[in-house]
Structure 1
């Protein structure tokens, strides 16, 4: 595995921990934008694959997540997370000027990455969305209709068919295992609406990855958002039987191959 190093940035609402998987002379930069309740360290294997293909990889722990500051999983405005990711892009570019940059966003990170692309797409060479929370995601509506949000944490079984992935997630002290918080759910609902109204990403190449057995962020709901977001150059890969975390699934070798093929194609055109 590639050795990582950590940076600390001043974020929108406190310090942001950023993990870097370095490459001495990268042909591209990849920003990994993690999902709700987790942290960038869970993407070490993805980063290792990317570094092996010539990328320098950077991944922030979002506000209230991982090693970053803030009350756990409390995000009152996802635009703060978008701004923090933009600051991480600045850190990466300062280290490697004039190197093309791709954004890889998973789940909630897919929602953040989609908004980032709407705002800063001219700065990107490619956008990859994995199980993205965009389009018609009913969970926020369902939770906000309740007087009290139930204490039902994410089930590890919904993430992957791989029992080792499930066990590691359940035992990870940097993963949040408690209930969602109402301000965060409200922030999800607002950002879903913002992205839906934000327009497509034009000529920015998009790769959409999704498991067809994703029960956390169902395929059909995300497709609504992809149709609104996609521009002139989009590719989709739907994996039979795969659950929410396709980078941690039993067929991850196929997912990595699709990711590398897409980035190679972008970088050589």
Structure 2
């Protein structure tokens, strides 16, 4: 069945980079909120067609996101798969797209929604530019991780400075991100999926993110906040999300855990996926 949603693909320029952009807009209802969606590491936007398209159509949301540098169509065209060029470049691109959305839809509130690394970036963007967004939804963000130790941290910072674009291939992920075995196989075999990761990204996730999300970000973050985790997430400990929300300065903050679910809530078993979608959609509508 065709959804009453307008899907638009386009290529845009950010500096000298060519970036793939994808957006969904309801056909039959006015736009009541705009969402900037930020995908995770190794991920890309068209993977979310069957999820974000219906969310847009059913709720009157305009949703837009890009294939970040090093991923999806953007990474394929630039022949730079896995090299996102680090946190600061990613945040610059997020600011650029957020500004485009606000320019196109100045009269509706803008929300950030990100998955995994994209969720961490959404929180960082809201922290750095607090007046830009109405609220943030972070799905399974990597707020804490294993401590690599002083020697490894020093090596990562040094390598991240000298050769930030050096890319390693970690191989296909053996850690299931969903209990839905069919969807997991589909995700793994997606031709735009990549298991490559840059030194800069490893440095960010293991060395830069943990101290920021332990103190600086939660102590300053005042916007409405929704953090969702699967209770059986094998990649990021759900308790890190709970602790982050408890510390957050915001007075409008919610942590929700879905029992038994894994890392990728939007590709989980149908009941869990729909519950997560209902939670985030309802949360946005309550804050319009």
Change (3 A) 1:140 1:167: farther
User: How far apart are the structure 2 equivalents of 1:63 and 1:37?
Assistant: 10
Task: Tell me the secondary structure at the aligned position of residue 170 of structure 1.
Answer: helix
The answer to which of 236-245 and 158-167 deviates more is 158-167
1:211 aligned residue: 230
> Which of the numbers 151, 154, 166 marks the counterpart of 2:184?
166
- Alpha-carbon shift at residue 156 of structure 1 (Å): 6.1
User: How far apart are the structure 2 equivalents of 1:142 and 1:219?
Assistant: 25
- In structure 1, stretches of 5+ residues that fail to align are none
User: How far apart are the structure 1 equivalents of 2:151 and 2:45?
Assistant: 26
2:66 aligned residue: 60
User: How far apart are the structure 2 equivalents of 1:87 and 1:112?
Assistant: 14
1:16 aligned residue: 19
Aligned CA RMSD, in angstroms, stands at 2.7
Change (3 A) 1:129 1:233: same
Deviations 1:151-201 (A, max 9, x none): 5435365211112211111111111034x3322211332244344424545
1:106 aligned residue: 115
2:202 aligned residue: 185
Q: Is the 8 A contact 2:40 2:117 kept in 1?
A: yes
1:138 aligns with 2:138: no
> Which of the numbers 53, 61, 68 marks the counterpart of 1:48?
53
Task: Tell me the secondary structure at the aligned position of residue 67 of structure 1.
Answer: helix
- In structure 2, stretches of 5+ residues that fail to align are 157-166
Q: Is the 8 A contact 2:227 2:241 kept in 1?
A: no
2:163 aligned residue: none
User: How far apart are the structure 2 equivalents of 1:143 and 1:21?
Assistant: 46
Q: Is the 8 A contact 1:144 1:186 kept in 2?
A: no
User: How far apart are the structure 2 equivalents of 1:258 and 1:222?
Assistant: 16
1:122 aligns with 2:131: yes
TM-score (norm 2): 0.82
Aligned length: 265
Superposition pairs of residues 16-95 of structure 1, within 5 angstroms:
16-23=19-26, 25-51=30-56, 52-69=58-75, 70=78, 71-95=80-104
1:225 aligns with 2:231: no
1:155 aligned residue: 173
1:257 aligns with 2:265: no
User: How far apart are the structure 1 equivalents of 2:151 and 2:17?
Assistant: 28
Q: Is the 8 A contact 1:78 1:191 kept in 2?
A: no
User: How far apart are the structure 2 equivalents of 1:40 and 1:140?
Assistant: 31
TM-score (norm 1): 0.87
User: How far apart are the structure 2 equivalents of 1:110 and 1:230?
Assistant: 18
Task: Return the index of the structure with the highest Cα Rg.
Answer: 2
Deviations 1:64-85 (A, max 9, x none): 1111155211134212111111
- Alpha-carbon shift at residue 249 of structure 1 (Å): 0.7
- Alpha-carbon shift at residue 228 of structure 1 (Å): 3.9
Q: Is the 8 A contact 2:222 2:248 kept in 1?
A: no
User: How far apart are the structure 2 equivalents of 1:140 and 1:221?
Assistant: 17
- Alpha-carbon shift at residue 38 of structure 1 (Å): 0.7
